[in-house]
Chains A and B, each alone.
Chain A
Amino acid sequence: MSFFSFGQSADIDVVLNDAETRKKVEHKTEDGKKDKYFLFYDGETVSGKVNVTLKNPGKRLEHQGIKIEFVGQIELYYDRGNHHEFVSLVKDLARPGEMTQSQTFDFEFTHVEKPYESYTGQNVKLRYFLRATVIRRLNDISKEMDIVVHTLSTYPELNSSIKMEVGIEDCLHIEFEYNKSKYHLKDVIVGKIYFLLVRIKIKHMEIDIIKRETTGTGPSVYHENDTIAKYEIMDGAPVRGESIPIRLFLAGYDLTPTMRDINKKFSVRYYLNLVLIDEEERRYFKQQEITLWRKGDVVRKSMSHQAAIASQRFEGSAASESALEQAAKEESG
């Protein structure tokens, strides 16, 4: 009997086929650290190899099967026991038996649907991962490999500006305008604040970006507000007729796309909060929701390529064949 019998008798690890070429992105972990993970989009194939290495080459490894799973799940921090899996695929790599030497197994999850973006928040986490398992009677040997998924959108057809007159009767009237209602993550908020009536003593004005994460349904709904940015746009006292310009570059902040009612479990929404502060530190504010979306890095290329891959989920269709041809032509042309 081996002295170290409580340890694992085999190591298992997962390696992607395109590990050399696939892009990695930074993603926040639950404890706030940032780590790098492989980046995938909806419809892309996830393929690679599972290496099972025997620690004692002489000793046989008995098992009840070896499998690999691709999982997409939502985890609510206040309800850790229940993981809500919205994607769950499995491939059996080996039937129950025994291994006498280290082995490598190929796997491929073809054109996997990844409908939502990876998200690590204050009360909820949405993640995708591969999990390779050697099933045994007493304790399984398993390894998880997290990946990050980004959801891309195209330029919205309708993107009206936001323009509103607000104020306190006979005290303060302003008209604010933001050039769009939908901004991509590297966009610029261009706007202006026009003062119609100023009977209070304003000291300065700022614009804040607020992220609101909503989890839960019905009676137990939790809102977590987080001020992502505070940006002063005016220092001093304005008078009637003055216009204060706004130019706020979003690329400098840690933002995600707007997520509405993801799998009916959570939402992440963004608001612009215009705050005026008077000489006595009283605050007057107006909150306005904006939609944030993620643009592909090279829009034209990746969008048609992604569309071609996504359409391939309906295999053998004429549309998918021609879409792939079109994408290939655009890439070379």
Chain B
Amino acid sequence: MEKQVTSLHSKLLKKNRAEMADTIADTRRLFTKPQNLNDAYGPPSNFLEIDVSNPETIGVGRNRYTTYEVRLKTNLPIFKLKESSVRRRYSDFEWLRAELERESKVVVPPLPGKALIRQLPFRADNGIFDDSFIEERRHGLEQFLNKVAGHPLAQNERCLHMFLQDESLDKNYTPSKIRQA
């Protein structure tokens, strides 16, 4: 009698174990290579900072215009200079936006407004040279550049690099793509 009971019992145990092996999935993590400590604690490879600041209004009377400092800091190999600073005006930004729309497949974000109404005469404030307006515009231009400069496709366009890092814009340039070695 004892023998019968134990053999039935072990059969049941075997069956249970086999069925449980079917139902419990193996969820252990896949093997991963340990990370190199320099990679883990070193500077990241995606460092890119662009600031638009120091607005300056140049000229007199009706021929006045405002320029902004565009400062760039990066460790991305696609940028020739790891640090650069240039001065640009609003129409330069408009030129860049038009070039990118035409030359690349990027959906280019909008610029802050053109504020044509502010350019009409007989205003109570300073129109487009009003401090709060310039600050609003400065902020919008900074947002625009950060959005665009981080786009992998926009980074291939010559016009972007010229805008960010060349002393002056050559609007008669030949559009081209940047190729890395």
Q: Which of B18, B26, B44, B77 contacts A170 (CB under 8 A)?
A: B77
Tell whether A239 is near chain B: CB-to-CB under 8 Å: yes
Is the beta-carbon distance between B46 and A199 smaller than 8 angstroms? yes
Most-contacted residue by chain A among B33, B39, B78 (CB, 10 A): B39
B165 to chain A, nearest CB (A): 17
* Those of A121-180 within 8 Å (CB) of chain B: 168, 170-172, 177, 179
Is the beta-carbon distance between B150 and A278 smaller than 8 angstroms? yes
Q: Which of A186, A201, A245 contacts B150 (CB under 8 A)?
A: A201
Interface size of A by CB at 8 A reads: 35
Q: Which of B26, B35, B152 contacts A200 (CB under 8 A)?
A: B152
Is the beta-carbon distance between B46 and A200 smaller than 8 angstroms? yes
In the complex, what residues of A have CB within 8 A of residue B32's CB?
A: 192, 194, 243, 245
In the complex, what residues of A have CB within 8 A of residue B180's CB?
A: 170
Interface size of B by CB at 8 A reads: 30
A176 to chain B, nearest CB (A): 11
Is the beta-carbon distance between A179 and B30 smaller than 8 angstroms? yes
A19 to chain B, nearest CB (A): 28
Tell whether B76 is near chain A: CB-to-CB under 8 Å: yes
Tell whether B28 is near chain A: CB-to-CB under 8 Å: yes
Q: Which of B27, B40, B48 contacts A241 (CB under 8 A)?
A: B40
Q: Which residues of A contact B (CB under 8 A)?
A: 168, 170-172, 177, 179, 186-188, 190-192, 194, 197-202, 237, 239-243, 245, 247, 278-280, 282, 298-300, 333
Q: List 14 A-B contacts (CB under 8 A).
A: A171-B155, A190-B26, A192-B30, A194-B32, A199-B45, A200-B46, A201-B48, A240-B36, A240-B39, A241-B40, A245-B30, A247-B29, A279-B150, A280-B151
Sorted nearest first, the 5 A-B pairs with minimum C-beta distance are A243-B32, A241-B35, A241-B39, A171-B152, A188-B25
